[in-house]
């Protein structure tokens, strides 16, 4: 179940969206400790959360911000798995946020050019073994875009500082690093 709404000011270039959700999963699968590479039914889960997003234009700046709170819990029910209903499910952060500030260079004689930084935050993530948490991580991004007629060219850089961080660790003991710096150049044509 998900319910949401959107608000836009009639006087200012400001808008916001909000949604609340509740998901239920029955017979959740988990790693089978007796048979590597196989899964077993370990219980039910319930994921509840709130997502908020807003954007505003102030002069030549456009600001975008979003945040998500996710409460992901599970119970072992009849299968007797090792799920603790008081702990967040593995691999799902409780908190995630991002903010962007993009400047339009029209006033400098460069119509269509916009450049700006972004910052993101991923909250700590419970390790699947129950032995601790993957630490929270702040990340920096950047964008430079140019629009002319129906064309939009953009250069996006994720993880600008090329920060090394662990993204997630699962119950079977394996962990993955987060994405390294990624540079993506796109060209879009709007019909």
How far is 174 from 130, CA to CA, in rounded Å? 13
pLDDT in tens, 91-130: 889 999 999 999 999 889 899 999 999 999 999 998 876 6
Least confident of 14-23, 30-39, 87-96: 30-39
Count how many residues are written for the chain: 191
Q: What value does the mean pLDDT take over residues 163-181?
A: 87
Q: At residue 86, does pLDDT exceed 80?
A: no
Q: What is the DSSP string of 128-178?
A: TTSS-EEPPEEEEEEEEEEEETTEEEEEEEESTT----EEEE-TTS-EEEP
Quickly tell me which residue has 């999963």 as its tokens: 25
Token pair for 6: 């959107």
Residue 180 predicted with pLDDT over 60: yes
Give the model confidence (pLDDT) of 41-72 as tens digits.
Answer: 777 888 999 999 999 999 999 999 999 999 98
Q: Given pLDDT bands bounded at 50, 70 and 90, which one contains residue 83?
A: low
């Amino acid at each position: 179940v998900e319910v949401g709404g959107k608000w836009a000011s009639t006087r200012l270039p400001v808008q916001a969206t909000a949604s609340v959700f509740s998901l239920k999963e029955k017979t959740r699968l988990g790693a089978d400790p007796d048979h590597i590479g196989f899964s077993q039914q370990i219980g039910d889960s319930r994921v509840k959360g709130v997502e908020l997003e807003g954007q505003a234009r102030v002069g030549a700046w456009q600001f975008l911000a979003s945040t998500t709170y996710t409460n992901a819990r599970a119970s072992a029910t009849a299968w007797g798995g090792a799920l603790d209903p008081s702990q967040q499910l593995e691999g799902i952060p409780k908190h995630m946020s991002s903010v962007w500030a993009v400047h339009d260079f029209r006033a400098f004689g460069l119509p269509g050019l916009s450049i700006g930084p972004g910052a993101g935050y991923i909250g700590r993530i419970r390790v699947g073994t129950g032995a601790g948490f993957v630490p929270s991580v702040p990340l920096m991004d950047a964008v430079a875009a140019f629009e002319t007629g129906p064309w939009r060219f953009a250069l996006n850089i994720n993880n600008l500082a090329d920060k090394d961080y662990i993204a997630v660790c699962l119950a079977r003991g394996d962990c993955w690093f987060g994405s390294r710096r990624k540079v993506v150049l796109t060209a879009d044509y709007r019909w």
